[in-house]
Copies of this chain bind each other. A is one copy, B any other.
Amino acid sequence: MLPVQPLTKEAFAPFGEVIECQGAENFAINKGFTQRYHKLASVALGQPDDAAIINVFRSQRWPHPVALTMVEQHPQGSQAFIPLDKQPFLVVVADKDTTGQPDKLQAFVTNGEQGVNYALGVWHHPLLILAKQQNFIVVDRSGSGNNLLEVDLPASKQTTLDINALVAQYLETN
């Protein structure tokens, strides 16, 4: 069973950016009526002709228990997830071993307002949510060539997530 830790900028730094206002550079614009929390994340693009695009992901909760048997990465761009429904979600990432393959998994839970931006090439699990359904703004890359690598984890690195316990711990209602 994979333990889940609260998401912080420090712990997530090797994998990308946490998108949150807390602690971010900010300044007033528009005659003082708007505070800009600036550059919480930057979109990385692999090729000169790539474009950053804005999408919505409408996600369903995976059944309990979640078997973590694979991860994916995007070799041509970063990918940001920002929750639209003020609910926490899970962020499962993997280190790279010396050959670039996924190594140890780590799981984080967001505070309901945080988003994440997976850096280009970071191994991560597909989106896992705690509520039954959640919508996200996703900012990622459009361009030519393959931008999705998926690998099955060797049995020694597979693990599970106790979704029922996480829902009970992190959601007020499910």
Binding site for B on A (CB under 8 A): 19, 21, 24, 29-31, 33-44, 48, 51-62, 80, 82, 84, 86, 115, 117, 126-127, 137-139, 142
The contact of A37 among B24, B35, B51, B58, by CB within 8 Å, is B58
**Given A31-B126, A33-B127, A41-B21 contact (CB < 8 Å):** no
**Cβ-defined contact, A58 with B43, below 8 A:** no
The contact of A62 among B33, B37, B137, by CB within 8 Å, is B33
**Cβ-defined contact, B53 with A39, below 8 A:** yes
Copies in the assembly, this chain = 2
In the complex the two chains form, what is the Cα distance from A39 to B42 in whole Å? Answer: 18
In the complex the two chains form, what is the Cα distance from A66 to B68 in whole Å? Answer: 53
In the complex the two chains form, what is the Cα distance from A41 to B52 in whole Å? Answer: 9
**Cβ-defined contact, A56 with B137, below 8 A:** no
In the complex the two chains form, what is the Cα distance from A139 to B52 in whole Å? Answer: 9
**Cβ-defined contact, A43 with B52, below 8 A:** yes
* 7 A/B residue pairs, CB under 8 Å, sorted by A: A36-B55, A36-B57, A39-B142, A43-B54, A54-B80, A82-B84, A139-B139
In the complex the two chains form, what is the Cα distance from A21 to B84 in whole Å? Answer: 13
In the complex the two chains form, what is the Cα distance from A40 to B86 in whole Å? Answer: 21
**Cβ-defined contact, A126 with B42, below 8 A:** no
In the complex the two chains form, what is the Cα distance from A142 to B43 in whole Å? Answer: 10
A89 → B minimal CB distance (Å) = 12
The contact of A30 among B55, B126, B142, by CB within 8 Å, is B126
A40 → B minimal CB distance (Å) = 5
